[in-house]
Amino acid sequence: MSDEIQTAVCSRAGCRAAARWRIEWRNPRIHAEDRRKTWVACDEHRDYLRDFLRTRDFPVEVTPLAQVGEPA
Ligand SMILES: [Zn+2]
């Protein structure tokens, strides 16, 4: 599961940059209370994707994505 995230590229359409951020969100209209969707984003698109979800009133949480081989 984590391998998939660590090698992920940005979720923004057309962007192939390495993801640096994890964006967890939920659509309250269709998702159960404990359901989470995960996007990943590069530095450039983190705010774009977060704002995209926030403008839809979705709960959004952004956390740094740990990179393999990098010091914590
Ligand atoms: Zn990007």
What is the CA(11)–ligand 1 centre distance, in A?
7
pLDDT at 3 over 90: no
What is the CA(47)–ligand 1 centre distance, in A?
10
What is the CA(15)–ligand 1 centre distance, in A?
5
pLDDT digits (tens, 9 = 90+) for 8-45: 899 999 999 999 999 999 999 999 989 999 999 999 99
What residues are neighbours of ligand 1 (ion), with CB under 5 Å? 10, 12, 15, 17, 42, 45
- Show the CA angle centred on residue 63, arms to residues 59 and 67, nearest 5°: 145
Q: Can you give the pLDDT at residue 2?
A: 53
Residue 31: name the closest of 52, 56, 64 by CA: 56
Instruction: Tell me what the mean pLDDT of segment 47-53 comes to.
Output: 97
Provide the 3-class DSSP secondary structure of residue 22.
Answer: strand
Q: Tell me the whole-structure pTM to 2 decimals.
A: 0.79
- Show the CA angle centred on residue 16, arms to residues 51 and 35, nearest 5°: 50
